[in-house]
Homo-oligomer: A and B are copies of this chain.
């Protein structure tokens, strides 16, 4: 087993037919992973589910892990695109930090609730090679960068350390929504969870003396 070294694509498809094959393989892999778990996602089974032969599988994926990485990349990129769009739109009308935070947390929650089975397999059950983690880090970096620009033009936010703050906001929200969707917090409903996280973030980002209710 495991004789091929890398997780890079073996042959890049040039014809539509080939691109369709790659797509159908990825889709099949997602189904198999979601339904039967990561261990059941053997190359032969994925190929069978996709309706193609193992040969075709290995023409585009050097090994099983490559499929995992490709799936995560796809999943992540789509999610980040939508959140980025939302953030940039909401950042256009300034002043409403709470509304922005609420949109953000809801978006992250929705992201995790889309295809939760697949999400669980991809990010919890499956082994995480280093390469996979870099994808996640890159995605977080992207969001943190946007948040940095938002924080910098926001009144009442300390400029010093706002790079750190941006990272904390992103990592914290990601981690908490992830756990909430997959394991829940007792019987806490989603709405209450979101409000609590929004409160948390708002109190963090507002300087204490800038708190609206703090001024007499």
Contact = CB atoms under 8 A, between A and B. Distances in A.
Nearest to A197: B168
A192 B168 CA distance: 12
Interface stretch (A51-59, A74-82, A124-132): A124-132
Given A127-B125, A175-B171, A183-B137, A188 B164 contact: yes
Contacts of A167: 185-186
A215 B209 CA distance: 8
A176 interface: yes
B165 A196 contact: yes
A133 interface: yes
Interface residues of A, number: 43
A168 B183 contact: no
Q: Is the interface of A mostly helix, strand, loop or mixed?
A: helix
Contacts of A196: 161, 164-165, 168
A208 interface: yes
A214 B204 contact: no
Nearest to A134: B183
A214 B203 contact: no
Nearest to A130: B125
A130 B172 CA distance: 23
Contacts of A126: 127
B200 A168 contact: yes
A128 B183 CA distance: 14
Contacts of A188: 164
A19 interface: no
A127 to B, nearest CB: 5
A163 B192 CA distance: 12
A216 B213 contact: no
A205 B58 CA distance: 54
Nearest to A144: B185
15 contacts: A137-B183, A164-B185, A164-B188, A164-B192, A168-B176, A168-B197, A171-B175, A171-B176, A172-B176, A175-B176, A200-B200, A203-B204, A203-B208, A211-B214, A214-B214
